A and B are shown apart, each in its own frame.
Chain A
Amino acid sequence: MKPITYARASSVPEAIRMAGKTAGAKYLGGGTNLIDLMREAVERPEALVDVTALATDIEATRAGGLFVGAAAKNTALAGNRIVRERYPLLARAILGGGSAQIRNMATVGGNILQRTRCTYFYDDAAHCNKRAPGTGCDAIDGFNRMHAVLGGSPACVATHPSDMCVALVALDAVVHTDGPDGTRSIPLVDLHRLPGARPDVETELRPCELITGVELPPLPFATRSTYRKVRDRASYAFALVSVAAAIDVADGAVGDVRLALGGVAPKPWRAWKAEEALRGQPATEASFRAAADAELAGATALRDNGFKIELARRTVAAVLAELAGEQA
């Protein structure tokens, strides 16, 4: 690691000012991803601005939703009473990510901005357009069992690793930011970009822009929701495929549904096509399979990851059937 400076910000304006002082400054949350990447020389910040002393509050909003300060720990959000009762898919997604130690350290803002665990991205002897733009992608013709089947490009097929974000995009979460140009509200589903020709540009955030919080709108039927994660071992592994879902069934038909996929794409993947295919349809396994097919129709397999397409289809259908069965 090259020498760095460290400063702890006590307010959002101070954090933005501190970050603006040094080119190559980075905001530091719990450090569970950034410190690791610094050790691997993938990240080489010159200054760290510690934002863990900023807002950690988790509060019900007047609109009936929830506001979460960006510095709230993952454990605090998963353990929050409102989350457990009104947004169980979010509690389960967070609890499915990392280990207890990691969740105790990691912040909500940092979770959103964590970077891919593509092994070629981590290996600075490999070609990687995300780490070193223009050098190529060793994953596309390499060991790509963990890589994307949706949303990838000829430049990059890395997946977004977060579990929490999959539940958040299903819930229409909005990210609040502050920066040199003032405050913004960005739907989380629009925050992460698809790689296209520029996989190194991962989000819509501008220089020195800081995530200050995440807001969830109310979603009454999310009380019946879940997050299923399929992985190589029972715990503490990244998703091969994950599904966050909430479904509202009335009189045997799908009234409304929220569905998002993890482990399959460069960003937390909102399954718009499947949702559209489901609304108004009978809440049957045939409908659920057809919806999954609609979403995965555009999927493309690399050498090693074709299994994810069928796995995603089956997991989507199984999760929806489970939730609909609960409501029957």
Chain B
Amino acid sequence: MEIVVNGQALEFSADPRTSLLDLLRDRLGLTGSKKGCNQGACGACTVLADGVRINSCLALAVQYEGRAITTVEGLGGNGGLHPLQRAFIDYDGFQCGYCTPGQLCSAVAMAGEVERGLPSFVTQDLSADAAVLSHDELRERMSGNLCRCGAYNGIVEAIMTTYGNEVA
């Protein structure tokens, strides 16, 4: 089977039970994606599949044959930092750092959802074409990523600085 990870096509054979997260970490050596709860509750394993954020712990690797996966290792490209990674440093968007790869991948895809006008549970006007990334919208849209250190203030500030589109 083939899977494209961070732009590189890779051949793999996996037991059908192997999760995408375990494939990435244990077979491909990409340990940036983290295993927190292993049941979809914490978001530390968040990666992008064809640009869409998913919990790689709940994904069977075989289901993602032929898909393009982006992990935190591939966010920046060319070995540099992604602007959001720079913002996390500037705004102290972490303490222990365990949730950070998931927060980063999640936020990058979240920005894409906002750009496409996808509403959230707190969006007042569901018929609006454009989504506004207010503070409440950001908190709601990022609720699938927990930070047990409680670095949320820095995380929110980093994401808002990078992707905020609210007109003051």
Main secondary structure of the interface of B (DSSP, over half): loop
Which listed residue (B110, B120, B139) contacts A95, Cβ 8 A? Answer: B120
25 A-B pairs whose Cβ atoms sit less than 8 Å apart in the complex: A30-B58, A31-B63, A35-B59, A38-B17, A50-B62, A79-B116, A85-B127, A88-B126, A92-B126, A95-B119, A95-B121, A98-B144, A99-B43, A99-B143, A100-B110, A100-B141, A100-B143, A100-B144, A101-B144, A102-B144, A104-B54, A105-B59, A234-B140, A235-B140, A236-B143
Contact of B144 with A84 in the complex, beta carbons under 8 Å: no
Say how far B114's CB is from chain A's closest CB, in angstroms. 11
Contact of B121 with A235 in the complex, beta carbons under 8 Å: yes
Residue ranges of B at the interface with A (Cβ–Cβ < 8 Å): 15-17, 19, 38-40, 43, 46, 52-55, 58-60, 62-63, 106, 109-110, 113, 116-121, 123, 126-127, 139-141, 143-145
Q: Which residues of A contact B109 (CB under 8 A)?
A: 100
Interface residues on A, range: 35 or more
Say how far A234's CB is from chain B's closest CB, in angstroms. 8
Q: Which residues of A contact B55 (CB under 8 A)?
A: 32, 99, 101-102, 105
Say how far A137's CB is from chain B's closest CB, in angstroms. 23
Q: Which residues of B contact A98 (CB under 8 A)?
A: 144
Residue ranges of A at the interface with B (Cβ–Cβ < 8 Å): 1, 3-6, 8, 28, 30-32, 35-36, 38-39, 48, 50, 52, 75, 78-79, 84-85, 88, 91-92, 95-96, 98-102, 104-105, 229, 234-236
Query: Measured between alpha carbons, how far is A8 from B54 in the docked complex, in Å?
Result: 20
Given the known interface contacts A31-B59, A101-B46, A105-B54, the answer about A75 and B118 at a Cβ–Cβ threshold of 8 Å is yes
